[in-house]
Structure 1
Amino acid sequence: MTPPVLVITRLRDATADVVVEELNRRAVPVVRLDPGDFPAEVALGAHLDETGLVGSVRTATREVDLAAVRAVYWRRPRAYAAPSAAMAGQDARWCVEQARYGLGGVLAALPGAHYVNHPWRNRDAEYKPAQLATAARCGLRLPPTLVTNDPEHARTFAEAHDSVIYKPLFHTDYVSVDDRMLTVWVEEAAPTDLDEGVGHTAHLFQRRVPAVTDLRLTAVGQRLFTVRIEGAPGLDWRRHYESLRYTLIDTPPDLAKGVRAYLDAFGLVFGAFDFGVDADGRAWLYECNPNGQWAWFPPAITGQIAEALADELQYAGDPP
């Protein structure tokens, strides 16, 4: 049988769906697996000895030979869960941890599989301070940034710059409050806003880039898709999708060089980079999401990225 592509994600993942559809169109076998279904709907049987790892993992509808997987598209699986809602406390935590290190460890060690991205590389690259420190070494331009839990330090930083923004260090899953889905957006932070609450945890503050336009650069292997984003009426363009205009442009050579060095530094195949461009044409890196979304682009752009990812998975990192 033709070696399959394993897609690790939850059931409703519109971004993964586009890639799965492209692989199906090419008649490439695909198996979708959500570790959040383990152990109720997923069965694992992995054998390890001096010859390596063999065995299988079985979902409700498919069975995968672990040694035969050609590539893994690691998207956004649900968290590991206890085997039943009735289990709680120490027993539940034990089962969750054993599942994470058992099934998760097997899925991260498939022999010969090409990962987009490997889950441990995703994890390493999710830390914003590490992102920014690495980006600086790779020659990418960064706005002055402060990570602190010291209110006085935060106020001093805000007073030193004309405009400062706050952004979360990590985007957790949306939280439902009164049946409403909430998130934390990028917001301006005046010195007077920075009270003792800053001391409750780590915060990231950044000098606001006087951006005249934004760029989303989506990297897939050696292919770079740079999209100019215009039309956002507010600070965080993610709040205004219905107002945005998208134009696919040539990637500036300096950005291409820095982005490729950044991907190499973290061992990433895929990355979604956000830049703000000032009136002088200088691009300032905000962040790189190693598992960012892209299927919200117009079909002409989405289709090209989907094809690039399908190539990466079908040909296991060596596209034609």
Structure 2
Amino acid sequence: MTVLILTSEQDVTADMAVVELNANGIPVLRLDPAELPGGVGLSGEFAHGAFHGHLSVGGRVVSMGGLRSIWVRRPGVPAAHAEAASPWLTEEASHSLYGMLRCTEARWMNHPDSARQARHKPWQLWLARACGLPVPATLITTFPRAAREFAERYPDLIVKPVSGKHPDDAGLAVPTTRVRPGEDYRDVANGPTLLQRRVRRAADIRLTCVGDQLFAARAASSRDAEDARHGDEAAVDDVRFDPAAGPWRPIPVPRRVADAVRAYLTRAQLAYGAFDFAEDADGVWWFLECNQSGQFGFIEIETGQPIGRAVAQWLAGAPFGPISAAGGDDERALGAECG
């Protein structure tokens, strides 16, 4: 049985899981839907009440009926690299590939339907609060008056994109930024704007969830100290753009957070999620977002947490052998919870 990984060619995060799968003798087929048609081919026949499909890449042909799991990691847009690329061809390729894969018995990380819903930031905030996670007061609006009234209630605000685009995604990357004092908010009429009460954070938390396993990492924040030096000017308030953040260190997951996060994943029907929290001075973890296909490579490299191994085990559907002792106590303690 083969593990299918849908991702771009240059994906170090996926590489970490592939290494583990190869080391444990699990067949892997890795392809980018952007190469369909061309470098990737497919064929499927529905006859006599059954569906028989095949995928080919690099001269290798795999039966879709022989797939044990499908990891939708960071796939390209179907047919994007085709010689005669067009919106119509993208639709044809997408419907063909994902339509056929839905006919298999393979399990998904994560299923396209669940992944699509999980990207919606308003729904994320609602679900996080429903599962018991603290969520900062948030407004998404195109009404300048609503924005001004929200700012009166919460004078210290940040603004960030509703779509949650990350720097390594295609298109414009907009970092989370503090709102300048005295902002008139007229520009929110030009498009939905997400304003959120700023958490004065002591640290950033990345909680990576793979099935039932939780891997938490903490990076001490330097932003409040920087704000004090630079006054009230608007500044980036985003760990991805903070060169002074870190280093990332593994930490245990509080029981309350662990229970809430697992409830979130269950209700969202996700097998994988990368949660971002802001930890305040009182030690409260404030939910910011859950990226259903978030990177974990940088966390694994800095902390030694075996996240790639956990992903590989989930995709394989079976535990591997013991972790090498070279990882030390940090690796064996990963995913630990405290009451």
Q: TM-score, normalised by structure 1?
A: 0.89
The amino acid of 1:270's aligned partner reads Y
Q: Deviations over 1:151-189 (max 9, x none)?
A: 11112111211310011111447699xxxx962100011
- Match among 243, 246, 249 for residue 248 of structure 2: 246
Cα distance in structure 2, aligned partners of 1:9 and 1:209:
34
CA shift for structure 1 position 135: 1.0
Q: What SS does the corresponding residue of 1:193 show, helix, strand or coil?
A: coil
Question: Are 2:219 and 1:219 aligned?
Answer: no
CA shift for structure 1 position 313: 0.7
Paired residue for 1:169? 162
Assess if the C-alpha contact under 8 Å between 1:6 and 1:73 holds in 2.
yes
Assess if the C-alpha contact under 8 Å between 1:295 and 1:302 holds in 2.
no
Paired residue for 2:94? 100
Please list every run of 5 or more consecutive structure 2 residues that lacks an aligned counterpart in the other structure. 224-235, 321-339
The amino acid of 2:310's aligned partner reads A
Q: TM-score, normalised by structure 2?
A: 0.84
The amino acid of 1:127's aligned partner reads H
Cα distance in structure 1, aligned partners of 2:202 and 2:167:
30
**Which moved further from structure 2: 228-237 or 205-214?**
228-237
Cα distance in structure 1, aligned partners of 2:159 and 2:312:
36
Q: What SS does the corresponding residue of 1:156 show, helix, strand or coil?
A: helix
After TM superposition, list the pairs within 5 Å mapping 1:145-294 onto structure 2. 145-172=138-165, 183-190=173-180, 192-233=182-223, 235-240=237-242, 243-294=245-296
Paired residue for 1:33? 31
The amino acid of 2:266's aligned partner reads D
- Match among 46, 50, 53 for residue 51 of structure 2: 53
Q: What SS does the corresponding residue of 2:147 show, helix, strand or coil?
A: helix
Cα distance in structure 1, aligned partners of 2:146 and 2:205:
31
Identity score, percent:
36
Cα distance in structure 2, aligned partners of 1:85 and 1:45:
19
CA shift for structure 1 position 191: 5.8
Cα distance in structure 2, aligned partners of 1:230 and 1:82:
40
Q: Deviations over 1:23-69 (max 9, x none)?
A: 11112111101100011222111122454422201112321100000
Q: How many residues are treated as equivalent by the alignment?
A: 307
Cα distance in structure 1, aligned partners of 2:274 and 2:165:
17
Paired residue for 2:123? 130
RMSD, matched Cα: 2.3
Q: 1:286 to 1:51 in 2, by over 3 A?
A: same
Paired residue for 2:306? 304
Q: 1:48 to 1:118 in 2, by over 3 A?
A: same
Q: 1:61 to 1:259 in 2, by over 3 A?
A: same
Assess if the C-alpha contact under 8 Å between 1:175 and 1:182 holds in 2.
no
